[in-house]
Structures are given as C-alpha cells and as structure tokens.
C-alpha cells in the first residue's frame, strides 16, 4: 500500500520533471530573444531539477543514495540561479539590451514625462501669485 503510493507520487514527479525539462529546452531553442531564452532556461534549471531529483529520491528510499541526491539538489538549487544571474549580468554589462517594442518606447516616454511635467505645470498653471513669489526668491538666490 505504502509502496504503491510512493511509486505513484514518484511517477508523477519524474514525469512532470521531464516535461519541464523538455519545455525549458524547447523554450531555449525557440524563443526569439536572449532574455526570453534566459527565462526559459531557468525553468528547466529550477522546476525540472527539483521535480526529477525529488522523484528519484522517493524511488531510492532512505539511505545513502537519497543523501547524495539531496546534496546534488541543494547544489543545483544554489548554483543554477547563480550561474543564470552571472550570464545575465555579463550580457547586460557587455551592452546587450532587451529588444524594445514601439509601444514600450512610448510607454517609457510617457513614464518619463510625468516626472518632469508635474514639476513645471503646477508652477506655471496653478497660481500666478505663487510663481511671482517663487521667481523673486530664485532671483535673490541666484
């Protein structure tokens, strides 16, 4: 009974882990941009590794083999995101940038403009008295 449950759970874990490994590999092959490929490769680095190794751990049972699998899991769990971050950081430092869509460019412009316009618009449009008060102080300061 217990063996059947453990077998079924390890079946599910190993099959879904190999599914995520294939999904990450297909994404690494098919995605158009380096940054999206980075995203796809980290799927198989995290989900595939965890699911496959936990499934193998359940299949092995308690013992030295499970400890070895746990060590491999901990190591890959630390070094996978670290090396992915190192690749991303090296690519960013070397000047590779994400491809910007035209809508994204206008979005950044409209994001930049409200930072500058609210500083100028309330000064000019809100009260002329405030402007007349602000300008002599600026003139006195300068």
Residues interacting with another protein, by CB under 8 A?
10-11, 14-15, 17-19, 21-22, 24-26, 28-29, 34, 37-38, 41, 44-45, 48-49, 52-53, 56, 59-60, 65, 68-69, 71-72, 75-76, 79-80, 82-84, 86-87, 90-91, 93-94, 96
Q: Which residue, 68 or 117, has its beta carbon nearer to another protein?
A: 68
Q: How far is CA 24 from the centre of its chain?
A: 14
- Nearest distance in Å: CB 17, another protein: 7
Q: Which residue, 78 or 130, has its beta carbon nearer to another protein?
A: 78
- Nearest distance in Å: CB 5, another protein: 15
Q: Which residue, 94 or 137, has its beta carbon nearer to another protein?
A: 94
Residues 30 and 48: their CA atoms lie apart, in Å, by: 18
Q: Which residue, 84 or 131, has its beta carbon nearer to another protein?
A: 84
CB-side neighbour CA atoms (13 Å) of 31 = 17
Q: How far is CA 49 from the centre of its chain?
A: 17
Place of tokens 């809508």: 103
Burial class (CB in 10 A: 0-12, 13-18, 19+), 24: buried
In the chain, the largest separation of any two C-alpha atoms, in whole Å, equals 88
């Amino acid at each position: 009974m217990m063996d059947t449950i453990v077998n079924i759970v390890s079946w599910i874990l190993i099959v879904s882990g190999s599914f995520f490994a294939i999904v990450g590999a297909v994404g690494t092959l098919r995605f158009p941009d380096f940054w999206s490929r980075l995203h796809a490769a980290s799927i198989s680095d995290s989900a595939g590794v965890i699911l496959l190794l936990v499934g193998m751990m359940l299949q092995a049972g308690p013992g030295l083999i499970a400890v070895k699998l746990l060590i491999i899991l901990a190591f890959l769990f630390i070094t996978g995101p670290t090396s992915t971050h190192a690749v991303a950081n090296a690519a960013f430092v070397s000047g590779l940038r994400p491809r910007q869509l035209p809508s994204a460019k206008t979005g950044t412009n409209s994001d930049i403009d409200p930072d500058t316009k609210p500083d100028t618009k309330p000064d000019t449009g809100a009260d002329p008295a405030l402007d007349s008060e602000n300008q002599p102080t600026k003139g006195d300061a300068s």
